[in-house]
C-alpha cells in the first residue's frame, strides 16, 4: 500500500507520538520497558470536522504541526509507510502546547 496522502474522516486527527525520552534528566539511561507510553504528539493530518444533525460542520480544533497532549487510553493505531501513527477524536485530545 504505497502511502499516498491519508485524510482522516470527520473529526478524527492523525498524530505521531514524540520519541520516548531514553535518558532521565539526571542522565540515567532508561531501559525501553520503563519508557512509558509517550503522551505528547505532533498533529500530522486532520479530518474536515464532524457534521451536526443539520449537516453543519464544526471544524476540528487542532492544526497540522501543533504539539498536543494525548489521553492515556483510546486512539487507533494506523501503520502508514511502516510508521506508527494514531487516530484520535478531536474531542479526546486533552490540550495543546503553545510556544
The binding site for a copy of itself (CB under 8 A) comprises 1, 3-10, 12, 14, 18, 21, 25, 40, 45, 47-48, 51-56, 58, 61-62, 69, 71-72, 76, 78, 82, 87, 91, 93-99
CB 93 → a copy of itself: shortest distance, Å? 6
C-alpha cell at 7: 485524510
Closest CA to 92 of 65, 77, 70: 70
Q: What is the Cα–Cα distance from 61 to 76, expressed in whole angstroms?
A: 19
CB 5 → a copy of itself: shortest distance, Å? 4
**Nearer to a copy of itself (CB atom), residue 1 or residue 23:** 1
Helix (H, G, I), strand (E, B) or coil at 34: helix
CB 33 → a copy of itself: shortest distance, Å? 20
Residue 60: other Cβ atoms inside 10 A: 21
Q: What is the Cα–Cα distance from 65 to 23, expressed in whole angstroms?
A: 25
CB 96 → a copy of itself: shortest distance, Å? 5
Amino acid at each position: 500500500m504505497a502511502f499516498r496522502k491519508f485524510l482522516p474522516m470527520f473529526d478524527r486527527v492523525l498524530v505521531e507520538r514524540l520519541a520516548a525520552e531514553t535518558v532521565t534528566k539526571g542522565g540515567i539511561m532508561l531501559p525501553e520497558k520503563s519508557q512509558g507510553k509517550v503522551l505528547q504528539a505532533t498533529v500530522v493530518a486532520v479530518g474536515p470536522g464532524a457534521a451536526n444533525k443539520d449537516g453543519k460542520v464544526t471544524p476540528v480544533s487542532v492544526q497540522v504541526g501543533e504539539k498536543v497532549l494525548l489521553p492515556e487510553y483510546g486512539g487507533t493505531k494506523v501503520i502508514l509507510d511502516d510508521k506508527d501513527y494514531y487516530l484520535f477524536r478531536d474531542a479526546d485530545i486533552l490540550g495543546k502546547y503553545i510556544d
